[in-house]
Structure 1
């Protein structure tokens, strides 16, 4: 295991992000739709994933599907280079294995969570800006209780820094870390366990096929576990703040969760589920497959 594997993990995630960012835009818009309003009492410009794609392209243009791509690429590079690097170190040193040599699901959860929470904290400014850029649209299909007006990632950094200082870029970091802890632990542990199961039982023999099936399986579990936390993070990142950086709609993750449940019900915590599932499943698959292939190519060139 070398430092280059950390970089390869980040590059693999960036490659996957180029393909899945449009779904991330759709997910963000749907999650902000009808914010703190009872179901059936608000206009829904986004009525489903397919219709949302049409609506965005019709009103904002085709390029709008890649809004927030630059900060999204930066965030994915940071979090995945860290968590996949940690995953590889733990796997190579058998820190995820039991005394019998089997991959432990519990240890996989621990190492996945550790890598995810660290990467999420470091990359929080990029996730914050990505969310705010993706929610920007014309008045006709605008959603959420607040809209930002950044012209680019650099402009967003400058605006946030000027208004709320350096630590303003880490607003909502706790919610992001909760999300990353659950998402990464479920993704990494499920991927490692399924990969080991398929390999040990020789159900699938080709390495690429094993990675594909394992990561697709992990992506399914990830969507179910992460969507509520993803909704909360999106709401916290997009809300307006005062001069001291305090949220005007939510004081924190717990307050956000309770307000969503009170006004929108459990349905509110699963807004954008299908867009999230359609994003995380292929993103997980592409990231982990790309990562395995990049590591394989690196090893070939080193021979």
Structure 2
């Protein structure tokens, strides 16, 4: 102990130790971005297949001459045969950009809200309703900030399909897509489809982040699980399933609103807003159209959640950061 701390200690008052950078918010932000990028790279082809399945059958958009995709495997094989293997990662760049904003923001915000605003009981548990409110709020805020990158991603994912339908290409790269959207609709155009995106992410965050946090604390506090790889895996499987059930309808609406063509004022030509898209989808294709791509979404969300949480918890442990 240095001389200054010895003097203070002798007086009965010891200043708090200096915070280590491993538990700083900016460092946790970087770690969450690294984990999200890893999960996105591993599971992105499933996201592409899911988006293709959600868009097809949309009245007023797809041509009838092109054979529709059938199922997750059929969609993946069709993309490889018609467009090439590497097209399974078409749109990965804006997807990574999105997570550099979305995942970093939601993880850091949730942990701050949880640690400073949630009520902690004597046994270490916290009220579930607080976790629900916290998950919804931080998910919506994070997605609002990341919405332009998500818009670019959805449009890039559909480019290969458009060209096979004989339509002229809209974009060739993420940068071109961003500039074209901005040029056509200004800043407002970059947030096209923002609200269904925010709703979806609030629900997905409720299912993923809130479920993972609540289930993990339940297992650790009530069933005396240790904070290990297997606990992380089990909790992430639960969170992935709940997130898919809650988020798929909003995901379908988001994809359709974002992918629709627009006029010179950046107004949609197929749907006026999210509610209009919801009503037209149910009217034209039935209620279960809202769950188009559910199994690809589940098969994607499950591995994504598993990869993300295990990676995130492990790199936190390696870097000396406290467990989530």
- TM-score normalised according to structure 1 size: 0.91
Alignment coverage as a number of residue pairs: 296
Q: Secondary structure at the match of 2:320?
A: helix
Q: Which residue does 2:293 correspond to in 1?
A: 272
When structure 1 is superposed on structure 2, of 12-21 and 191-200 the one drifting more is 191-200
Deviations 1:34-93 (A, max 9, x none): 0038xxx99652101011111000000000100100000111221110111122223434
**Which of 202, 223, 233 does residue 254 from structure 2 map onto?**
233
| Offset, 1:204 | 3.5
Structure 1 residue 85 corresponds to structure 2 residue 86: no
Larger-gyration structure (1/2) = 2
**Which of 203, 212, 217 does residue 233 from structure 2 map onto?**
212
When structure 1 is superposed on structure 2, of 157-166 and 133-142 the one drifting more is 133-142
Q: Secondary structure at the match of 1:165?
A: helix
Q: Secondary structure at the match of 2:319?
A: helix
Deviations 1:87-130 (A, max 9, x none): 22234346264576323221111111121111101111110010
Structure 1 residue 287 corresponds to structure 2 residue 308: yes
- TM-score normalised according to structure 2 size: 0.85
Determine the C-alpha separation between the residues in 1 that align with 2:174 and 2:286. Answer: 34
Within-5 A mapping of 1:121-200: 121-138=144-161, 142=165, 149-200=170-221
Determine the C-alpha separation between the residues in 1 that align with 2:76 and 2:244. Answer: 20
**Which of 116, 119, 126 does residue 142 from structure 2 map onto?**
119
When structure 1 is superposed on structure 2, of 206-215 and 264-273 the one drifting more is 206-215
- Native 8 Å contact 1:45 1:55 kept in 2: no
Structure 1 residue 2 corresponds to structure 2 residue 41: no
CA spacing shift, 1:139–1:250, aligned 2, 3 Å: closer
Structure 1: state its 5+ residue gaps: none
Structure 2: state its 5+ residue gaps: 1-22
**Which of 33, 39, 47 does residue 70 from structure 2 map onto?**
47
Determine the C-alpha separation between the residues in 1 that align with 2:119 and 2:242. Answer: 20
Deviations 1:167-197 (A, max 9, x none): 2111111111111111112211111111012
Q: Secondary structure at the match of 2:204?
A: helix
Deviations 1:190-219 (A, max 9, x none): 111110121123464252211111011010
Q: Which residue does 2:13 correspond to in 1?
A: none
Determine the C-alpha separation between the residues in 2 that align with 1:96 and 1:169. Answer: 38
